[in-house]
Every structure is written in C-alpha cells, then in structure tokens.
Amino acid sequence: MRRVAVVTFPGSNCDADARHAVRLFGMEAVPVWHKDTALPKVDAVILPGGFSYGDYLRCGAIARFSPIMPEVVRFASQGGPVLGICNGFQVLCEVGLVPGVLLRNSKLRFLCQDVNLRMEGKPTPWSRPGGETIRIPIAHMEGHWFADDETLARVEGEGQVIFRYADGAPNGAMRDVAGVCNASGNVVGLMPHPERYVEAGVGGTDGRRVFEALVEALA
C-alpha cells in the first residue's frame, strides 16, 4: 500500500480532510507532527491548509522553520512528490520549493467560494495537462500569487503554471495563477482545496483529479 505523509502544524485545519482524501484512494495516510525530525518511509507528502502558527509574520513564514521541513526539502530534492494546499502552498513558497510568493487578496478580504480551474502546463504527480476544467473551492486571505518579471517569464516558459483560474483570479493573482510546480515537476503548490471536493455529498468530486493523478503516478 502506498503511504502519504500529511504534516500537521499548529493551526492546521485541513489535515484531517487531507488524510481522509488519501484513504479514499486506497492509500495509507501517515500523520506527521511539525516537531518530528524525520519522515517515516512514505511515497508522497502533503502540507495541508490552515493557519500555521496563526499566520504570524507572514503566512508560512514560521512553519518553514519547523523541524520537519528540512526532511520535506530533502524528500523533494530526491524527487519525492510533495503537494502544498493553500497554507501549505504558502509554506512551500517560503522555503523556496516552488516559485513566487502569496500576497493579500487584491480586495483585502477573505474569499470562500467555488472556482473553475484549468489544468495545464507540464505533467506532475498531482496533475495532468490537457486543458480540462475542474471546479473546487478556495478559502484564503492571502492567495494573490506574485512573481518578478524574470521568475514569471521562466515559470510560464517552462510550463510550471499547472492550475489557472479559468474565469479570472478572484484574489488578483498574476496571470490568474492558482497552482505552480517546481522546475522538476514533483513539488506542487495549489491555493484551492481539492481535498474538500472528493465526495458528492459535500458539494463536488472534481478534487478527485488531483488524488487520481497521484495514484497513477505512484502505480
């Protein structure tokens, strides 16, 4: 059975949802605490959504110094699949595993709504390109993805934008970016929450695409 680590920081509030989604797809969800100094033997890692350390300083700025993060970086450097969702995306940006930064939403208010995402860019363990549109929810205050001109040109040119808001970014993100990957394609940061839409009874099932991609990648 494939094993997926889900890291919990103080203030994480989507870790249980992420573990539930992992189990729905026949994988073992392995809880990992932010103070752990070693990852167990796993096939993938998820940094879930929430408000790690209360979002003090900047979102993800304190979580990047958690004892577990050097292990996550090491796992990623060896090609291991890593997914950061919402606050997890912010942590990945802070630690330098994916490009760009996440700023306050352009209208300076918390956004909680469904959005349409277009899947594009290079293939990753968490996505498949091809232009398919999926609908999943966002829930964030700091989802405005930003990058300087040089980084933006590189990210666009190398196919690192893998999820884009199909109807325009409600948070003001540059080029309507909703999710990006690293140059190698194994690390993905995504602002919307696929783990919340994996069962019809809670509003939708389009989030299954992300976990189906992982199952396929690990097969």
Catalytic residues: 86, 193
Let me know: does 46 contact 207? Beta carbons within 8 Å.
no
Q: At what angle do helices 15-24 and 208-218 cross, to 10 degrees?
A: 60
Nearest-5° angle of CA 88, CA 93, CA 94?
Answer: 95
Tokens of 114: 């469904």
Strands ordered across the beta sheet of 111-119: 28-33, 3-8, 44-47, 82-85, 187-190, 177-181, 161-165, 111-119, 133-140
